[in-house]
């Protein structure tokens, strides 16, 4: 993309309405525009990151063997009357009527609808296990929408639903989700810690929230500092293996890590004092095993091996896709702007032309731009006729992890500058070497094969 042709409405001033840094930076970098309280348009740069995050979620769901589908945003109220949640959900639910005076609602979640799909089409235990998920907009009429996309009213969520014959199988599905979520967040450059959560009225221990530590987080969290040393890395897990998934769950949940809802001072006191931490966190996902709550209420049963019908065992598993942009920025920024992790950056590299209009500089930039694209990289070329300082400030604000700076003086010696946004380090090298370096950096992200020199 050439910046002269792009739509990147950056703001010079800090917007007054933004209370936290991620909201401020998303507005300043021209990523979102508020249309009503908690309702946003996703401008091109924000939309690009949103799609990268969605893509990672889809890839990791596929790896775990989960199947995508798409359910509508509007749902008939009758389904929710069956489960009893139409009345229970309260004012957070946006209710609407169509022209025939039929009650609809804008879905805040999809347990009822997926259970309806299941009961219409699945009859036998032989069709299990089954995990269906979608990435779809939700609406919750939050009393206090705030912090930009972190607590919106309309927001994008990945929600997946598991169907199994037995409780053990459903718990394996739960563990499988925990493993795949660990991988998913790490690919986005985030450490999201599974913390024991409150099962609410359904009860049970089988729910964990994933929290990203950040001062601006809305949850208070308590944990054993050893937990932050754990990383999932690129281990190969067989998602069908009960033992392997169980082992990961044990590794990542055996140390103390709870939110204020489940915090227990007496148990926390058993953690050695120097390892006890109290902090704040952003909830970026939750996994939940709830058994037959919906299948029983809505008659979603399967014929078991002995010929008897039993209600199917279920769980639901969510990732806050749009909230993740805020969480990633909270965890990755400095005074000059955003610092995208390579896995989610909207563009892989920015090209800054220091002397727009100069024939040799323009053609060197064009050549670098074309070569990066030919190698599967996605560059943003600042080809506007503007001061170098202004171009650098824009690149720093929008947070591309790498910048290639091209000027006539360097080019005379066949050199450009390659700068890391995170460390600020700059190296001089030939355009060819800069391109090769970027190809190497992004190889794991893009799944590219790096060719031998």
Ligand X SMILES: Nc1ncnc2c1ncn2[C@@H]1O[C@H](COP(=O)(O)OP(=O)(O)OP(=O)(O)O)[C@@H](O)[C@H]1O
Residue ranges in contact with Mg ion by CB under 5 A: 286
Which residue's CB comes closest to Mg ion? 286
Minimum Å gap between C-beta 283 and Mg ion is 6
Which residue, 64 or 190, has its beta carbon nearer to ligand X?
190
Question: Residue 323 binds which entry of ligand X, Mg ion, none, with Cβ cut-offs from 5 to 8 Å by kind?
Answer: ligand X
Minimum Å gap between C-beta 308 and ligand X is 33
Please state, in angstroms and rounded to a whole number, the distance separating the CA atoms of residues 71 and 93: 17
What is the residue whose two structure tokens read 């800054």?
A: 352
Minimum Å gap between C-beta 197 and Mg ion is 7
Which residue, 53 or 248, has its beta carbon nearer to ligand X?
53
Minimum Å gap between C-beta 51 and Mg ion is 24
Query: How many CA atoms, within 13 angstroms, populate the side-chain half-sphere of residue 399?
Result: 29
Which residue, 311 or 320, has its beta carbon nearer to ligand X?
320
Which residue, 281 or 311, has its beta carbon nearer to Mg ion?
281
Minimum Å gap between C-beta 209 and ligand X is 6
| Antiparallel, parallel or unpaired: β 94-97 and 74-76 | unpaired
What is the residue whose two structure tokens read 């994933």?
A: 210
CA dihedral for 36, 38, 41, 45, sign (positive or negative): positive
Phi/psi-derived region of residue 242, left when phi > 0, alpha when psi is between -120 and 50, beta in every other case? alpha
Please state, in angstroms and rounded to a whole number, the distance separating the CA atoms of residues 371 and 156: 35
Specify whether the CB–CB gap between 188 and 340 falls below 8 A. no
| Secondary structure of residue 389 in the 3-state scheme | helix
Specify whether the CB–CB gap between 78 and 195 falls below 8 A. no
Minimum Å gap between C-beta 23 and ligand X is 12
- Before 206, cis peptide (omega within 30)? no
Which residue, 206 or 347, has its beta carbon nearer to ligand X?
206
- Of the candidates 186, 188, 204, the one whose C-alpha atom is nearest the C-alpha of residue 196 is 204
Specify whether the CB–CB gap between 19 and 146 falls below 8 A. yes
Which residue, 286 or 332, has its beta carbon nearer to Mg ion?
286
Minimum Å gap between C-beta 446 and ligand X is 27
Which residue, 201 or 389, has its beta carbon nearer to Mg ion?
201
Question: Residue 285 binds which entry of ligand X, Mg ion, none, with Cβ cut-offs from 5 to 8 Å by kind?
Answer: ligand X
Which residue's CB comes closest to ligand X? 320
DSSP 343-368: TT-SSSEEEEETTTT-HHHHHHHHHH
Minimum Å gap between C-beta 181 and Mg ion is 13
Minimum Å gap between C-beta 175 and ligand X is 18
- Using the CB atoms, write b or e for 31-52: b if 16+ within 10 Å: bbebeeebebebbebbebbbeb
Which residue, 1 or 157, has its beta carbon nearer to ligand X?
157
Please state, in angstroms and rounded to a whole number, the distance separating the CA atoms of residues 335 and 332: 11
Question: Residue 54 binds which entry of Mg ion, ligand X, none, with Cβ cut-offs from 5 to 8 Å by kind?
Answer: none
Please state, in angstroms and rounded to a whole number, the distance separating the CA atoms of residues 206 and 105: 29
Other CB atoms closer than 10 Å to residue 101's CB: what's the count?
Answer: 6
Question: Residue 346 binds which entry of Mg ion, ligand X, none, with Cβ cut-offs from 5 to 8 Å by kind?
Answer: none
DSSP 106-143: E-S--HHHHHHHHHHH--BGGG-SEEEEEEEEEE---S
Question: Residue 157 binds which entry of Mg ion, ligand X, none, with Cβ cut-offs from 5 to 8 Å by kind?
Answer: ligand X
Interface positions with ligand X (CB under 6 A): 109, 140, 142, 151-152, 155, 157, 283-286, 318, 320, 322-323
Which residue, 218 or 386, has its beta carbon nearer to Mg ion?
218
- Report the length, in residues, of the chain: 453
Question: Residue 34 binds which entry of Mg ion, ligand X, none, with Cβ cut-offs from 5 to 8 Å by kind?
Answer: none
Which residue, 108 or 431, has its beta carbon nearer to ligand X?
108
Minimum Å gap between C-beta 153 and ligand X is 7
Which residue, 140 or 183, has its beta carbon nearer to ligand X?
140
Report the Cα 123 to chain-centroid distance in Å: 34
Minimum Å gap between C-beta 320 and Mg ion is 8
Question: Residue 151 binds which entry of Mg ion, ligand X, none, with Cβ cut-offs from 5 to 8 Å by kind?
Answer: ligand X
Question: Residue 140 binds which entry of Mg ion, ligand X, none, with Cβ cut-offs from 5 to 8 Å by kind?
Answer: ligand X
Tell me which DSSP letter residue 292 carries.
T
What is the residue whose two structure tokens read 């170098």?
A: 388
């Amino acid at each position: 993309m050439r910046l002269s042709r792009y739509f990147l409405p950056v703001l010079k001033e800090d917007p007054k309405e933004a209370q936290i840094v991620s909201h401020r930076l998303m507005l300043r970098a021209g990523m979102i525009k508020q249309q009503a309280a908690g309702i946003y348009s996703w401008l091109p740069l924000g939309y690009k990151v949103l799609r990268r995050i969605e893509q990672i979620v889809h890839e990791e769901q596929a790896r775990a063997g989960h199947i995508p589908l798409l359910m509508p945003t509007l749902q008939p109220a009758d389904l929710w009357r069956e489960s009893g949640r139409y009345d229970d959900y309260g004012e957070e639910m946006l209710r609407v009527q169509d022209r025939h005076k039929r009650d609809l609602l804008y879905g805040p979640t999809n347990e009822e609808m997926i259970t309806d799909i299941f009961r219409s089409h699945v009859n036998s235990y032989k069709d299990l296990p089954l995990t269906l998920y979608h990435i779809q907009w939700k609406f919750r009429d939050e009393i206090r929408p705030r912090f930009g996309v972190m607590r919106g009213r309309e927001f994008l969520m990945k929600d997946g639903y598991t169907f199994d014959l037995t409780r053990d199988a459903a718990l394996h599905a739960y563990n499988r989700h925990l493993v795949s979520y660990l991988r998913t967040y790490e690919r986005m450059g985030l450490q999201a810690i599974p913390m024991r959560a409150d099962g609410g009225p359904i009860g049970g221990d089988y729910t964990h929230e994933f929290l990203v530590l950040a001062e601006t987080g809305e949850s208070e969290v308590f944990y054993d500092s050893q937990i932050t040393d754990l990383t999932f890395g690129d281990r190969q897990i067989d998602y069908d293996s009960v033992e392997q998934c169980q082992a990961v769950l044990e590794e990542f949940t055996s140390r103390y890590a709870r939110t204020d809802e489940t915090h227990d001072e007496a148990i926390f006191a058993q953690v050695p004092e120097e390892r006890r931490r109290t902090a704040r966190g952003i909830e970026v996902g939750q996994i939940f095993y709830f058994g037959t709550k919906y299948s029983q209420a809505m008659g979603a049963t399967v014929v078991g091996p002995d010929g008897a019908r039993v209600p199917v065992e279920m769980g639901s598993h969510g990732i806050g896709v749009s909230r993740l942009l805020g969480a990633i920025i909270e965890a990755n920024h400095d005074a000059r702007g955003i610092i995208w992790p390579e896995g989610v950056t909207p563009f892989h590299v920015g090209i800054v032309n220091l002397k727009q209009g100069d024939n040799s500089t323009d053609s060197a930039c064009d050549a670098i731009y074309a070569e990066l694209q030919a190698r599967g990289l996605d560059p943003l070329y600042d080809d506007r006729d503007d001061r170098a300082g202004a171009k650098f400030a824009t690149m720093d604000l929008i947070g591309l992890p790498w910048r290639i700076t091209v000027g006539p003086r360097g080019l005379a010696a066949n050199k450009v500058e390659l700068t890391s946004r995170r460390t600020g380090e700059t190296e001089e090298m030939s355009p060819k070497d800069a391109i090769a370096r970027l190809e190497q950096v992004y190889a794991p992200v893009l799944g590219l094969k790096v060719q031998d020199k």
